[in-house]
Structure 1
Amino acid sequence: MASNQTGGCQHVHTHLHGGPIDNHTCHCSVCKRVTGQPTTHVVFYNYRDVEVDNPAGLKRQPFNDQNPDGPLELCTCATCGTPIMLDDKQHRIRVIVPNLMGFDPQGMPATYHAFYDPASGEARPSDGRPVYEALRPDFVWPQPA
C-alpha cells in the first residue's frame, strides 16, 4: 500500500519507501484550520520512509500556529508554495496529506476516523470505519530515526 510512490511538486519531490504506519481521516481543529477542509486524510510514515530530494527547497513553518513549539512543521515548496509534507522535529514520523501533496488518495485509503469530538456538533461518521477521539488505541509512536 503506497510504497515506492512519488509526490510533491516540480521543485521538491517526496519518495515513499515502505507502507504507512497510520492512515486516518482526521477531524481535529488544527487540520481543519490548516487545510480548510472539513476532514483531512492523513497518512503517517516512519521518518526514514519518506525521502525528500531537495530539502533546501523547503520552507518550514509550525504546523499548529497556536502551538509554534510543537513537534510538527508544515513543509511547503519555497518556490511555488505547494504543501510537501509534515516533518516531525523529533524524527519519528513524516506525514502526507495525499490530496494536497501530490499523491493518489485512492492508493492509500484511510482505515479509521481520528480526533472525532462529539461536542463539535458534527454527525458521527457512519461509513463503517472505526471512530476514535484520538489516534487508534493500538498506535505506538516510533522511536526517533
Structure 2
Amino acid sequence: MAKYEGGCAHVHVTASAEPIDNHECHCNVCKSVTGQHTTHVAFFNHADLKVDHPEHIKRVPFNAQNPDGPLEICLCTECNAVLMLDDKQKRIRVAVPNVMGYDDAAFPKATYHAFWDESKGYPAPSDGRPVYAGLRPEFSWPAGA
C-alpha cells in the first residue's frame, strides 16, 4: 500500500516508504522551476517512488544552467503535469508535494531548511527548524544503480 500518492489523472506516482530527506529548499534552481520563494522537497530512495505509466512521461532537464546534470523533471505527456524529479544515476526520486499532486496536508513536514545563504536577500528562516547552506550535514547520497 502506498504511503503517499501524487501525479495526475494519467500517471500515478506512489511512495512505498518515508522520504530519506525532507527539506524546505531555498536554492535558485527550485525558485526558477517552481516560481516559489521556498519549495518543500522530499527525496526518496529511487526504488521507493514508482510510476504506473512510465510510457506517458517526457523528461526535461531540471537545471537549465546544467542541462546534462543528473536530475530530470518528469512531465505527463497527456496533460503536462509535473510528476517527479528523476535521477539519471538512479539514486533518488524527488517529490514536491504542493506541485506534484500530493495531499500536502498529509505529507510529512520539512524538517530543515536547505541551500539558504545571506546572498538570498531575505532573513534566515526563524521557524525553529535547522538552516543549512546545503543539505543537512549527515545526509548521505544512496548508491546509484
TM-score when scaled to structure 1?
0.96
Q: Show the counterpart of 2:117.
A: 117
**Any idea what the Cα deviations from partners look like across 1:63-98, whole Å, max 9, x if unmatched?**
001100000000011110110000000000000000
Could you tell me how far apart the structure 2 residues matched to 1:5 and 1:25 are?
A: 18
Q: Show the counterpart of 2:50.
A: 51
**Any idea what the Cα deviations from partners look like across 1:91-126, whole Å, max 9, x if unmatched?**
000000000111122322100000001122111100
Could you tell me how far apart the structure 2 residues matched to 1:143 and 1:123 are?
A: 35
- Percent sequence identity over aligned pairs: 60
Aligned length: 143
Q: Show the counterpart of 1:83.
A: 82
Could you tell me how far apart the structure 1 residues matched to 2:58 and 2:122 are?
A: 34
- The one-letter code sitting in structure 1 at the alignment partner of 2:77 is A
- The one-letter code sitting in structure 2 at the alignment partner of 1:4 is K
Paired residue secondary structure (2:30): helix
Task: State the Cα distance separating 1:4 from its structure 2 match.
Answer: 2.2
Q: Say yes or no: does 1:132 pair with 2:132.
A: yes
- Segments of structure 2 that go 5 or more residues without pairing to the other structure are none
Could you tell me how far apart the structure 1 residues matched to 2:72 and 2:95 are?
A: 12
Could you tell me how far apart the structure 1 residues matched to 2:4 and 2:104 are?
A: 12
**Any idea what the Cα deviations from partners look like across 1:43-62, whole Å, max 9, x if unmatched?**
00000000110001011000
Q: Say yes or no: does 1:23 pair with 2:37.
A: no
- Segments of structure 1 that go 5 or more residues without pairing to the other structure are none
Paired residue secondary structure (2:32): helix
Task: State the Cα distance separating 1:6 from its structure 2 match.
Answer: 1.4
Could you tell me how far apart the structure 2 residues matched to 1:136 and 1:92 are?
A: 17
